Structure 1
Amino acid sequence: MNFTSKLPDVGTTIFTVMSQLATEHQAINLGQGFPDFDPDQALLDLVTQAMQDGYNQYPPMAGVLALRQQISTKVQTLYGHGYDPDTEITVTSGASEALMASILAFVQQGDEVVIIEPFYDLYIPAIQLAGGKPVIVPMLAPTLDTPSYRVDWQRVREAITSKTRMLILNFPHNPTCINLTADDLDKLEDIVKETGILLLSDEVYEHLVFDGQPHQSLASRPLLAAHAIIVSSFGKTYSATGWKIGYCCAPKAISTEIRKVHQFMVFTVTSPMQVALAGYMKNERAYAGLSAFYQEKRDRLANGLASTRFVPMHSQGTFFLLADYSAVSDLPEAEFARWMTVEHGVGVIPVSAFYRTPDAPESNHKLIRFCFAKRDDTLDAAIEKLVRI
């Protein structure tokens, strides 16, 4: 059979490759971003109860109303913006589907989409499937004087042209672990005022922000909210990544177009989990305590790395932490990550995997990404191995 691939450059993702490698070599997997512990038993009990109560058939296409109402209440409470549960909130099959449906709904053949590098690997394939062209704006890489990534907003503005349909943002940022500040939102508002650009904001780590800092959601600014699709994830928030349930919030006219794609992509999302999440969200402490919970794990890993030859970078958010390995090896990041997994039994992800050209010198800064969404004994066992390198 003869055919032309729509995604000729896409193979098995680095996350799958490194997780398989960790399994083959019985390595501790601090690479792929998922917890190695179960969700709260109370949430699991609510799922069981929902099944027993008969919530086993198709729910509404846009999601169970009670869940959309809870999402609306949360966003209003945290960020001060009111989304109509009936017309402006859609429950999706994970944040991935929310992102894909949003891109397919608005990006047409020949449209340009600006993305900030390094970036999550879903964005470019989704843009290409929609017929669009990704326009990449690199972050400023860490230096000795400024040991963290930074967004160059002037370069972002310069990348937006009459052909630009959308700007994709992701904060707290995977993989760099940086957050937006109020000043960043000011600069983003200036860009929106000048261009009217549509914003797709991937905020799946909204509840994993550390050191007492607030999450700077685009929903917190009326102008940005009016131009934005905001995506979040119950999998990240409630340690249930395998459930694949997320949602997106957007003004009615924008949501209408997203739902047109959503209804033919998955139609709707598993009923008992939605019902359970609607009940569980009534307990605000379940997400309000996440930052403190994960900050302890971040500090546990960072303190452990301090006794190794790795130099941890400060993680402002997400459940990831970057570390510099230049005192250990001169290998490129992908080769070093494989060496770590095979020879030393700790699986990690090379940050270069989040660049369009992973092998390029400008994509390699001798940085690897650790996931600390793990049990304390898992982190301790990994640190024991890292100390010996």
Structure 2
Amino acid sequence: MAGAETSLSISEAGGELRVGIAGPLTVEAVGRLDRRFREALAASPRQVVIDAAGITALDSAGAWVLRRTSDAFSGRGIEVRLDGLQARYAALVEKAFVPEPEAPDGENGPNPLIRVTARAGEAMFDMARVGRELFGFFGLTIVSLLSLFTGRTRLRFVALVSQLEYVGLNAVGIVFLLCFLVGVVLAYMGSLQLERFGAAILTVNLVGVSILREIGVLLTAIIVAGRSGSAFTAQIGTMKVNQEVDALETLGLSPVDVLVIPRLIALCIALPVLVFIGNIAGLAGGAMIAVLTLDLTIQQFLTQLKGAVDLWDFWTGMMKAPVFAYVIAVVGCHQGLQVSGSAESVGFRTTKSVVESIFIVIVLDALFAVFFAEVGI
């Protein structure tokens, strides 16, 4: 039996627990050695080293035991290091699934309030971890941009033009259509309410201010986050699955310089242009409703619009666009680089990218609104 040839040594010295495995770690060996693995979990060292250099064969049962042992120690805050594992077994250990223990049922189970509180706490810690990772990646992009501007790295011009076509030119149609329809809805619903007070002409003011200051840039950013941000994650994630990112690193190239920076710069250029187009489309939709339902001429609409808005209404919206573009690009590329090597991970990270991008964009838009109100703009 293969399991009879497998040996397990456990020793502890100087706060380090060393678990040495020699021979094939297969289902037969696991059945014989599982109790000793569980006995090792009772120790409380500062560090655990699992010496896997002697493993000559590994199946899913052996990978499960290695993963269970590692997760059990790391879950208690103990540093775990897996040494010497052959590269061909690494993916099997990484994909080994250790189910969470089921919560006890009945009267001995935790109070529902405690469960809800625990989940809320886990969610807060997860948000803090994601925020820390995003902030670190944001700093990495800043360093890469500084290297680009100082001439230490070069810009991939072909990649930049390709991304400009995808995130900019190809998005004009959907941005124009949706902003136009939102302008139509906003003007129509606003006119219905303002007509009750004999102030239907103020519909032009409503459309002009809301489109230029808030709705144009916010709606365009959400469209771009769903369209281009998700594409960034899917593209880079697929490259990660196909080990193309690893190949770039092997060639001595930085994935941030090659993959992230062209997308980031392209989006920072394209989004302000798309916002301008979205503003024009939203105003055009409002003008159409004003002409059809309020019996205004185009000249009257433009005259009322000129008196209702000023340049700051236009620029407060436009100033947000590069910030939103940077956030969408950073989140999308960061989630793409976090893909762990499976098609399921690509889908999960793509969904997470869209949700995080839209959430951060809306939060930033609210902060901008408060700031502009405080400074009197």
Q: TM-score, normalised by structure 2?
A: 0.24
More strand per residue: 1 or 2? 1
Larger radius of gyration, structure 1 or 2? 2
Larger relative helix fraction:
2
**RCO higher in structure (CA 8 A, sep ≥6):** 1
TM-score, with normalisation over the residues of structure 1? 0.24
